[in-house]
Amino acid sequence: MLYSLIRPALFLLDPERAHGLAIAALKLMPAGQPAKPGGPLATEVAGIAFPNPLGMAAGFDKDAEVFDPLLGLGFGHVEVGSITPRPQPGNPKPRLFRLTQDGAVINRMGFNNHGLEAAHQRLAHRSAGRDGRRIVGANVGANKDSTDRVADYVAGVRAMADVADYVTINISSPNTPGLRDLQGDRELHDLLAAVASNRQQGDPPVFLKVAPDLDAEAPARIVEAALTHGIDAIIVSNTTISRPPLMARDKGEAGGLSGAPLRELALGQLRAFRKAAGGAIPLVGVGGIATAEHAWERIRAGASLVQLYSAMTYRGPGIAREITAGLERLMARDGFASVAEAVGTEEG
């Protein structure tokens, strides 16, 4: 209710400035109590015990500054980043656009972050450590001017291995030129082979984040590459460069579209990956999730975990507890004893 009162004032601000204020406000908050392990929504994915299936997607906490306060809001995990080996400013401003009439966001941030060293230092001082109560993943990317992007990803996975509960290889941002080319068949195998050869015993799981803008053959070949090289889960999906009908003034801005207009496309790609994988690799559903019903639909379609980001812009910081409470009701309504039991059970 409080957020509904202050949202009009926040929406008068430039979106990037408003986001900066949100980060500043979270820094002032006490860490709070994370979601309790072992509850009705507890689920295990890639060997990690998540207290609930709802996470904050990468992009909100780019520099690993507010993961503890976010966990205190009720998220079962937080994915920080994207983090590149070297600091970089990202793309020129303005680069973030709020499409209020559409419940959407367009961004072309360009992996603006302070680099691996700064993020590693923050994660190394996690208040609770890697104890199963505060699950933090690290999303890594490549520098825009890199001459060896494969090496950048290997560096990211290695740097985050001792401080993150899992590491995500993000090859699906549309805002770094040529990055999505790494989703090609040979390019993907080369990248994942290099990452696999540099993993060590005891390293955390590695996830792969893909785009929604894929052809019909892509899910099968991406799943095959992921299984061949030991990827532990696939995140479906990042923002889209497609443009469904939109109403807002900034609808023509370049960048990745997220929020409500992405929902059906991301859901369709999740179903395609579930069909291709047949349950052989866990999937994480992202894109347009704003309610418990959206999250439950994604779980029933094949997602073991779900994530959101844009919806918190519109619904406020109470969204995590709203969704998790709703998921408990929906799980009981449909007769499931656990989240894992419900994964991939949609009819039709």
Those residues with Cβ within 8 angstroms of residue 286's Cβ, 6 or more apart along the chain or in another chain: 57, 235, 236, 237, 238, 266, 306, 307, 308
| HEC secondary structure over the chain | CHHHHHHHHHCCCCHHHHHHHHHHHHHHCCCCCCCCCCCCCCEEECCEEECCCEEECCCCCCCCCCHHHHHHCCCCEEEEEEECCCCECCCCCCCEEEEHHHCEEEECCCCCECCHHHHHHHHHCCCCCCCCCCEEEEEECCCCCCCCHHHHHHHHHHHHCCCCCEEEEECCCCCCCCHHHHHCHHHHHHHHHHHHHCCCCCCCCEEEEECCCCCCCHHHHHHHHHHHCCCCEEEECCCECCCCCCCCCCCCCCCEEEEHHHHHHHHHHHHHHHHHHCCCCCEEEECCCCCHHHHHHHHHCCCCEEEECHHHHHHCCCHHHHHHHHHHHHHHHCCCCCHHHHCCCCCC
So what's the pLDDT on residue 133?
Answer: 66
Distance CA 169, CA 263 (A): 22
Q: pTM for the complete prediction? A: 0.96
Residues 53-86: tens digit of each pLDDT:
999 999 999 999 999 999 999 999 999 999 999 9
Q: What is the pLDDT of residues 278-294, one digit of tens each?
A: 999 999 999 999 999 99
Task: State the total domains in the chain.
Answer: 1
Cis-peptide, bond into residue 94, ω within 30° of zero: yes
How would residue 123 be classed by pLDDT, with cut points 50, 70 and 90? very high
Q: Domain of residue 203: give its range.
A: 2-342
Q: What average pLDDT does the segment 5-16 reach? A: 88
In the chain the first and final C-alpha atoms are separated, in Å, by 38
Q: Spell out the residues 6+ positions from residue 42 whose beta carbon is closer than 8 angstroms to its own.
A: 49, 50, 51, 52, 338, 339
Instruction: Supply 129's token pair.
Output: 């450590």
Q: Is residue 348 part of a domain?
A: no
Q: Which amino acid is at 51?
A: P
Which is the catalytic residue, given 82, 146, 173, 258?
Answer: 173
Assess if residue 321 is contained within a domain. yes
Q: 89 in a domain, yes or no?
A: yes
Q: For position 121, which CATH number holds? A: 3.20.20.70
Does 347 map to a domain? no
pLDDT over 80 at 131, yes or no: no
Under the banding of pLDDT at 50, 70 and 90, the label for residue 129 is very low
Asked whether residue 215 is assigned to any structural domain, the reply reads yes
Is residue 173 part of the annotated active site? The answer reads: yes
Percent of the chain with pLDDT over 90: 89
For residue 140, the cross-strand partners are 83, 169
Question: In the predicted model, what is the mean pLDDT of the chain?
Answer: 94
Would the pLDDT of 139 be above 50? yes
Residue 230 lies in a domain: yes
Nearest to 328 by CA among 53, 56, 69, 135: 53
Place of tokens 């419900």: 342
Asked whether the predicted pLDDT for residue 348 surpasses 80, the reply is no
